[in-house]
Structure 1
Amino acid sequence: MMTQNRMRYLPAPLTRPRITHEWLPNGIAGTKRTVERIAKLIKHGSHDFYVRQAAIDIILRASVSAKSYLEEINTLFRWVQRNIRYTKDPYRLELISSALRILQLQIGDVMMLWF
């Protein structure tokens, strides 16, 4: 069992972000492409050791019962609301960050589906 203030792992060092500029079409087509990019980031985050370990630690600290999946989701959702500062995207830009980057910076335009 972990202690209250001691992490069991070291987070990945913060690196320069990889920035991709891409034109998005207006309307449904642009929304569809954005959702596709977000889905890739979610999948990548679900395989990232640091992201998974952070989620496990949050759930353990909250003493969520084993296999209480809705309680796990609610616990993670509340943690994000309390600990990740929301930042609005600039006008006419869609900025998408990985779960790891959001955890490292504790700031972002969180889509709430990052675990």
Structure 2
Amino acid sequence: METYANDELNPLDSPFLRDVVQAACEKRGWSIYNTYVAIQLAKFIENTREMVGKLPRTIAGVCLLTVAVRLNTHETLREIAYCVGITWQTVQKRYNEYHYLWDQFPWEDFPPQE
């Protein structure tokens, strides 16, 4: 799977990820607010990526979107994995490796939208 070096542009701000986020949000009827939270989480991940090293782009996108909308269910991960063309086993493995980062995100700054 493709990875990126620390001196490259942030792939989490790429048109690819934005398209994935937007398409998945629209498909599930999620609001633009969730897309905004996803972008903020992308920036947070970018700022803490030294803790992770080289993070696969699509896995970052999958975990990012899933956690940003607070739907950490196997069904959601599986659906998004299918949309971006990666296997459920790969998602599960990578999510289990990096989930501690998501717990450090300042969720109190982004309360759930009613």
Please give the TM-score of this superposition, normalised by the length of structure 2.
0.31
Q: Which has the higher helix share?
A: 2
Q: TM-score w.r.t. structure 1 length?
A: 0.31
Computing the radius of gyration over CA atoms, which structure comes out larger, 1 or 2?
1
